[in-house]
Structure 1
Amino acid sequence: MDNLEDLKILAEQWFHQGVEFFQQIPPTQLYAAIGVLLLTTILLVSIRLFRRTKSNTVLLSGLSGSGKTVLFYQLRDGSTHQGAVTSMEPNEGTFVLHTENIKKGKTKPVHLVDVPGHSRLRSKLEEYLPRAAAIVFVVDALEFLPNCRAASEYLYDILTNTSVVKNKIPVLLCCNKTDKVTAHTKEFIRKQMEKEIEKLRVSRSAVSSADIANDFTLGIEGELFSFLHCYNKVTVAEASGLTGDTDQVQEFIREYVKP
């Protein structure tokens, strides 16, 4: 009983001492301290909420004819939708990946966006990049060489985009249509695109910064360009939308949009 009374007396003493301490602090300083405390609390809560609500948006980008739309439908429901025409608007949907849906497992839906590949429609990509968790850049491995320069320029623009660099959005260089005998290998495609991007890097760095539309430059001074030099992670994989060989693409998606 005596111990309880002693604790009560001690608590009252601490309370009065605390009140006296705060009364000695000038009001302006006290209000400033309270303001800083509130702002810090709000910031910490915001950071935690942001971390809990990670994006589930994955973008399919690349030139027209690379097979993005076929890949989109293959991932969505296992169909191919062959003969689909180039759309003027992004093709998008939120769904559980087809193979995961078959297994009936509990997985997080993916918001997949098939961005038009036509040069006049690529501005649509800018609308989605700030909220993208990952990007799948699709290349036609069958008709690669005639389109190598154009594909490299498009990928260069993505890799130097402000949102991609600052958010370190991972990119998968997806070599599509590899089921064909005459298709180029992913190693060949990677090396050729690195060479083309090196040419672009050199030529664009020689131009006045006022004339460059890109937000960042690529590469390491004095070294030939490699995807390893990018601000964000770039990996290379093979796929075939027509045959349903999309395992590597799905693995990439699930690495950044957790089940």
Structure 2
Amino acid sequence: MGSGESPTLKTQDAHPSILVIGKWIRHFEQWIHEQPKEQLYTAIAVVVATFLIVVIYRILNRSRCNTVVLSGLSGGGKTILFYQLRDGTPHQGTVTSMEPNIGSFVLHSELEKKGKIKPIHLVDVPGHSRLRPMLDDFLPKAAGIIFVVDALDFLPNCRAAAEYLYDILTKSSVVRKKVPVLILCNKTDKVTAHSKEFIRKQLEKEIDKLRTSRTAVSSADVTNEYTLGVPSEVFTFSQCHNKVVVAESSGLTGEVSQVEQFIREHVKP
């Protein structure tokens, strides 16, 4: 290096992209100095407001994704399951709810775990036919749906359960978001309870009949927003747009491990 040369990088030796970026920065600085202060303050306010809206939207979305909805016919044991998941006890035993049970809590089985655990937002929707429309208030926010079936008294209620399940599986809020559904066969601690495989097959048969009869109804009937299954094929839950699985539980004895597994699969701790 000669005695008169500078040790720093010469401008003409810089990378072309660096020169371009520097040029844009200078233009931007010049543009800022040329703008009226009021206009700059307005632009900054718009940027800040937009940022806050995006942050709030993401926070709300995160809060929604921990909602799990308990649904099913009356008498299936939804409320007892709600208490078991929250407190680890069945409380009063058989309970018929006329209003939703709603709570945000860490699963009882996870209370002793170390570290931060994300609570779930559990909604137990009454199964009475007159109260089912309130289900529509919660489905758009659901990360998962647990459809409770009485495995002990299943056959007399099979048709009604299939109709209710059909309505849920054809809701636009469920299909579009591909909300996972757990068909939970409850009261399996009883000797005379039906197996989950038997219940699954019977529900599939009933839904297959329903989709045939409802497809034949006039197009003026808009009760169901989507159709189920593949045309000309026997219906199975594997054909649904969203994931549908079947599991067993016993609310009275506290055997709810498969329920908790489903919840934590879709509401990460």
Scaled by the length of structure 2, what TM-score is found? 0.80
Partner residue in 1 for 2:11: 6
Please list every run of 5 or more consecutive structure 1 residues that lacks an aligned counterpart in the other structure.
20-37
Q: Secondary structure at the match of 1:211?
A: coil
The amino acid of 2:72's aligned partner reads G
Deviation at 1:209, TM superposition (A): 2.0
- C-alpha contact 2:143 2:266 (8 A) present in aligned 1: yes
Partner residue in 2 for 1:157: 167
Partner residue in 2 for 1:77: 87
Deviation at 1:215, TM superposition (A): 0.4
- C-alpha contact 1:177 1:242 (8 A) present in aligned 2: yes
Deviation at 1:82, TM superposition (A): 3.0
Q: Distance in 1 between matches of 2:59 and 2:143?
A: 13
Cα RMSD, aligned residues only: 2.9
Partner residue in 1 for 2:223: 213
Identity %: 65
Q: Secondary structure at the match of 2:71?
A: strand
- C-alpha contact 1:239 1:245 (8 A) present in aligned 2: yes
Q: How does 1:133-152 map to 2 (within 5 A)?
A: 133-152=143-162
Deviation at 1:90, TM superposition (A): 0.7
The amino acid of 1:15's aligned partner reads K
The amino acid of 1:256's aligned partner reads H
The amino acid of 1:89's aligned partner reads E
Deviation at 1:208, TM superposition (A): 1.7
Deviation at 1:216, TM superposition (A): 0.1
- C-alpha contact 1:66 1:139 (8 A) present in aligned 2: yes
Deviation at 1:188, TM superposition (A): 0.1
Partner residue in 2 for 1:35: none
Q: Distance in 1 between matches of 2:86 and 2:20?
A: 66
Partner residue in 2 for 1:15: 23
Deviation at 1:89, TM superposition (A): 1.8
- C-alpha contact 2:79 2:95 (8 A) present in aligned 1: no
Deviations 1:47-105 (A, max 9, x none): x9479726100000000000000000001011102345433321010111111114455
Question: For the structure 1 residues 135 and 12, does the alpha-carbon distance in structure 2 shift closer, same or farther, using more than 3 Å as the test?
Answer: closer
Give the alignment partner of residue 118 of structure 1, picking from 112, 119, 128.
128
Q: Distance in 1 between matches of 2:249 and 2:12?
A: 72
- C-alpha contact 1:204 1:212 (8 A) present in aligned 2: no
Aligned length: 237
The amino acid of 2:23's aligned partner reads F
- C-alpha contact 1:174 1:238 (8 A) present in aligned 2: yes
Q: How does 1:12-161 map to 2 (within 5 A)?
A: 15=23, 49=58, 53=62, 55-83=65-93, 85-104=95-114, 106-161=116-171
Q: Distance in 2 between matches of 1:99 and 1:154?
A: 30
**Greater mean deviation of Cα atoms: 113-122 or 208-217:** 208-217
- C-alpha contact 1:194 1:226 (8 A) present in aligned 2: yes
Q: Distance in 2 between matches of 1:61 and 1:205?
A: 25
Question: For the structure 1 residues 6 and 103, does the alpha-carbon distance in structure 2 shift closer, same or farther, using more than 3 Å as the test?
Answer: closer
Q: Secondary structure at the match of 2:117?
A: coil
Deviation at 1:132, TM superposition (A): 0.4
More helix by percentage: 1
Deviation at 1:134, TM superposition (A): 0.2
Question: For the structure 1 residues 138 and 12, does the alpha-carbon distance in structure 2 shift closer, same or farther, using more than 3 Å as the test?
Answer: closer
- C-alpha contact 2:183 2:247 (8 A) present in aligned 1: yes
Deviations 1:175-205 (A, max 9, x none): 0000000000000000000000000000001
- C-alpha contact 1:66 1:176 (8 A) present in aligned 2: yes
Q: Distance in 2 between matches of 1:105 and 1:5?
A: 54
- C-alpha contact 2:93 2:252 (8 A) present in aligned 1: no
Q: Secondary structure at the match of 1:93?
A: strand
Give the alignment partner of residue 210 of structure 2, picking from 194, 200, 211.
200
The amino acid of 1:237's aligned partner reads A
Please list every run of 5 or more consecutive structure 2 residues that lacks an aligned counterpart in the other structure.
1-5, 28-46
